[in-house]
């Protein structure tokens, strides 16, 4: 009954090497079995012993040998080969496990990614290229499969970092009786057509950017708060303690012209005030003595009358003569256009030049 109960695992590695394994400890406890195989057909079979055994706790649990043809016959016997425990004939081509894809290239255009690899030398029609990818926001892999040896998909966000991996698969049941696929090619990381060492770099860069922006925002907010507090403090300070005026701005000539010498400044200032007062004292208008008789005569002969006044300056020097200025007094109420000062007395206008 062992021949029916024995379960074996058969793998043909890219039609180059065969690996057949069995559960030695469960099937043959305490006995180390032997293995032999042949690729020959017909009655003249040449059985070959296993060149390389696979061990499980020092018990033979499998055999690794070279693939030499499409038809394979295997036999498991006791240690000396006198008793056969298991035998089987099979098609080695139905147990092929392909190698990893070679020379994998990525082509990124806008939101479309196309992945391709070199075509294997044999069994291209039985192979399919599988692409799996996921972003840092995806929990599971997304899968796409196409004929060997190019596969692509759309909808990729150029702002996201994606992990990619590819492998080759054998078609079942047309080419394989077992669903064998190659090992995954090394995982790569891409973002907008740029190859990265890891998507963690993108996460770190984004986190660093967030930290820097947060710090800048906090600094700006603190500066704004300090500015507001400073303005309010200045207003409070002005209301509680009014600013004392700086004398150097009020008495600019004291500090600029006299270097702060108050006595010198006050003496010069008093002299300037007295001199200005004397220079700008209003002159006194003095009338010349005229007989009323001549006035009356002239009034009869002439139409409008004119009275002549003389002004004598209040400030006189020993060497200067008193200045005399003529004042015209029209009898009408008209005002001279060239007058500098006008005095109205009893409906008569006095004009001071």
268-294 tens-digit pLDDT: 766 555 444 445 455 554 444 444 555
Distance from CA of residue 132 to its chain's centroid?
31
315 Cβ neighbours under 8 A, 6+ residues apart = 278, 279, 281
The CATH architecture one would assign to domain 98-196 is Sandwich (2.60)
pLDDT above 90: residue 43: no
Tens of pLDDT, residue by residue over 103-135, are: 999 888 888 899 999 988 888 999 999 999 998
What number of CA atoms fall less than 13 Å from residue 184's CA on the CB side? 10
**CA atoms of 122 and 276, how far apart (whole Å):** 122
pTM of the predicted structure, to 2 decimals: 0.54
Give the range with max mean pLDDT: 73-77, 81-85, 235-239. Answer: 73-77
Instruction: Return the pLDDT at 312.
Output: 42
Q: Residue ranges of the domains in the chain?
A: 8-96, 98-196
% of the chain with per-residue pLDDT over 70: 66
Between residues 2 and 267, the one the model is more confident about: 267
Tokens coding 1: 């009954």
Of 67-71, 195-199, 311-315, least confident by mean pLDDT is: 311-315
Computed from CA positions of residues 180, 182, 187, 190, in that sequence, does the dihedral angle turn out positive or negative?
negative
Give strand pairing partners of 71: 91
**CA atoms of 175 and 120, how far apart (whole Å):** 15
Of 112-121, 167-176, 338-347, least confident by mean pLDDT is: 338-347
65 Cβ neighbours under 8 A, 6+ residues apart = 17, 18, 37, 48, 50, 51, 52
Instruction: Return the pLDDT at 326.
Output: 39
Instruction: Return the pLDDT at 13.
Output: 94
Instruction: Return the pLDDT at 351.
Output: 45
The CATH architecture one would assign to domain 8-96 is Sandwich (2.60)
């Amino acid at each position: 009954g062992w021949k029916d109960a024995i379960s074996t695992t058969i793998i043909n590695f890219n039609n180059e090497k065969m690996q057949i394994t069995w559960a030695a400890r469960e099937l043959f406890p305490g006995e180390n079995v032997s293995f032999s195989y042949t690729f020959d057909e017909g009655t003249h079979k040449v059985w070959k012993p296993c060149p390389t055994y696979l061990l499980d706790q020092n018990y033979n649990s499998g055999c690794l040998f070279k693939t030499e043809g499409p038809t394979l016959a295997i036999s498991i016997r006791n240690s000396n080969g006198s008793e056969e425990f298991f035998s089987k004939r099979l098609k080695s081509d139905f147990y092929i496990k392909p190698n990893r894809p070679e020379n994998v290239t990525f082509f990124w255009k806008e939101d479309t990614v196309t992945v391709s690899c070199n075509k294997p030398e044999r069994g291209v029609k039985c192979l399919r290229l599988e692409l799996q990818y996921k972003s840092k926001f995806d929990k599971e892999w997304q899968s796409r499969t196409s004929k060997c040896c190019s596969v692509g998909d759309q909808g990729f966000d150029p702002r996201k970092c994606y992990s990619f991996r590819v492998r080759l698969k054998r078609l079942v049941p047309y080419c394989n009786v077992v669903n064998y696929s190659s090992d995954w090619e090394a995982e790569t990381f891409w973002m907008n057509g740029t190859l990265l060492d890891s998507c963690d770099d993108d996460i770190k860069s984004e986190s660093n950017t967030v930290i820097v922006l947060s710090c800048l925002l906090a600094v700006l907010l603190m500066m704004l708060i300090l500015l507001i507090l400073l303005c309010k403090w200045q207003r409070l300070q002005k209301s509680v303690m009014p600013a004392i005026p700086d004398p150097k701005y009020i008495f600019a000539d004291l500090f600029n012209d006299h270097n702060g010498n108050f006595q010198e400044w006050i003496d010069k200032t008093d002299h300037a005030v007295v001199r200005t007062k004397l220079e700008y004292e209003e002159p006194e208008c003095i009338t010349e003595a005229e007989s009323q008789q001549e006035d009356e005569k002239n009034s009869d002969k002439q139409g409008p009358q004119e009275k002549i006044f003389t002004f004598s300056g209040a400030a006189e020097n020993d060497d200067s003569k008193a200045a005399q200025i003529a004042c015209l007094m029209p009898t009408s109420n008209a005002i001279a256009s060239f007058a500098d000062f006008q005095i109205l007395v009893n409906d008569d206008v006095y004009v001071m030049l």
